[in-house]
Amino acid sequence: MSDLLFDQFLIPFFIRFFFVFSLIGMATGAGLIFFPARMHQVFEQGNRWISVRRRMKWLEVPRNIDMALYRFARRMGGVLIALAAYSTFVLVTQVNAGGMVSVVGADKTVDPMLALIVADTVRWALVAGGLLGIVVIGLVLFSPDTMKGVGKPADQWYSTRTWLRGLDQMHMGIDTWVRGHPRAMGSLMVLGALVVNINFGLMWFARG
């Protein structure tokens, strides 16, 4: 199934995508060569500055979920422990790596042994996650003070606006160079797009 998906869908999709994209690149490069002033007007319509800091501002608002967590802990704790225990029991007793590999069709790949190793690793990681979830929920229910002490070092506020400050700076070096040398840039785009077009065009017609 995975090989059929790859051969019949993914490869033809990427071949057509790059073929069409190369045609667009050739048209853009030709426009820069023969109609640079008009192409600058087209580019100006697409050059829009989007402030990342403004869009991500809502992430800077601290939200305290501890009160809600401990308030409804007893109501939800039993249900969550039951679900975690059931899923862990099923993973240990009724799920095996070979079955997981067969379901996704990975047993027909080049290296089925690697697929088995990956599937078994995922299975035991889910088991470990279920056991850890039971322990955490148990601490919330029966020893909330201990849980608060364990979680306190992780309760740190991280400023995304500080990390993303550099993304709000506009870098116009390439735009300035293209504006000053439109025909040179157009020629490079046409040549590069022509190579891509010929390559993927041959691949398209060879598969057809």
H helix or E strand, kind and range, residue 51? none
Q: How many domains does the chain have?
A: 1
Is residue 82 included in any domain, yes or no? yes
Is residue 57 included in any domain, yes or no? no
Q: Rounded to two decimals, what is the model's pTM? A: 0.47
Unique residue bearing structure tokens 């690149």: 25
Is residue 55 included in any domain, yes or no? no
Is residue 54 included in any domain, yes or no? no
Is residue 191 included in any domain, yes or no? yes
Positive or negative: CA dihedral 15, 19, 21, 25: positive
Q: Report yes or no: 47 and 175 within 8 Å, Cβ to Cβ.
A: yes
Residue-range definition of the domain harbouring residue 192 = 2-48+65-207
**pLDDT value, residue 107:** 61
Q: How many CA atoms lie within 13 A of 96 on its CB side?
A: 3
Q: What is the tens place of the pLDDT at every residue in 81-137?
A: 888 899 889 888 887 777 777 766 666 665 667 777 888 888 899 999 999 988 888
Q: What is the tens place of the pLDDT at every residue in 16-34?
A: 999 999 999 999 999 999 9
